[in-house]
Amino acid sequence: MKLRNRMHAAALAACLMGATLLIAAAPGANAAPASPLLGTWTGPADAYYGGSFTQGTEKLTITTARGNVAKGTWQWKSTGGKWSKPKPVQLIVMNSAAGATSIDILGADSEGTYEGVLIPGVSFEIGYMDPSPDGGKNTLVLHSLMSKSK
């Protein structure tokens, strides 16, 4: 009888361990808070640079998300123009609380900084500023409201 009870206890322990592993390995169980950024985001953009206003399209392609950080590339296309060469960009997810409906985003590239709001599955509104050391004459400001490409 003791042997039988030990076997049942061992079997029960094995089942519980297996169930724990299945729960821990469930898709999304350990997803990075920055993972909603993954993918390609595009949208119309307004820019002001060197005293001139222009419009075009901005594209962010986020390839990696680990923890609260993400990295990828940024591109710009003037209306009727071609895409610029991809430039590296890094972003940070600031408020990744479970159940939050929006996520604050900060970031930087080699020339400027980003600030935005991501509504997962809906939109990504982002602003960019590249301050100029010449007193603002050639400061670049850019705003876009992007959606995720399917």
Residues 25 and 51 grouped into a single domain:
no
In this structure, the answer to whether residues 54 and 108 fall within a common structural domain is: yes
Do 49 and 71 share a structural domain? Answer: yes
Instruction: Name the residue range of residue 14's domain.
Output: 1-30
Same domain, 66 and 132: yes
Residues belonging to the chain: 150
Are 42 and 5 members of one domain? no
Domain identity same for 42 and 12: no
pLDDT at residue 23, rounded to an integer: 36
Q: Which of 109, 111, 114, 147 is nearest to 128 (CA)?
A: 114
Q: Give buried/exposed letters for 16-46 (b at 16+ CB in 10 A, else e).
A: eeeeeeeeeeeeeeeebbbbbbbbbbbbebe
Residue 12 has pLDDT above 90, yes or no: no
| pLDDT tens, position by position, 125-146 | 999 999 877 766 778 888 999 9
- Tell whether 52 and 17 lie within a shared domain: no
More confident residue, 53 or 150: 53
Is pLDDT of 18 > 80? no
Same domain, 92 and 128: yes
Residue 51, burial from CB neighbour count under 10 angstroms (0-12, 13-18, 19+): exposed
Residues 136 and 100 in one domain: yes
The tens digit of pLDDT for each residue in 58-105 reads 999 999 999 999 999 999 999 999 999 999 999 999 976 677 789 999
Please tell me the distance from the alpha carbon of residue 92 to that of residue 134, in angstroms, as a whole number: 29
Report field, pTM of the whole predicted structure over 0.85: no
- Name residues whose C-beta falls within 8 Å of residue 65's C-beta, 6 or more positions apart in sequence: 32, 34, 35, 37, 38
Domains held by the chain: number: 2
pLDDT at 25 over 50: no
> What integer best gives the mean pLDDT of the chain?
81
The verdict on 39 and 24 lying in the same domain is no
Q: Does residue 59 sit in the same domain as residue 132? A: yes
pLDDT score of 20: 40
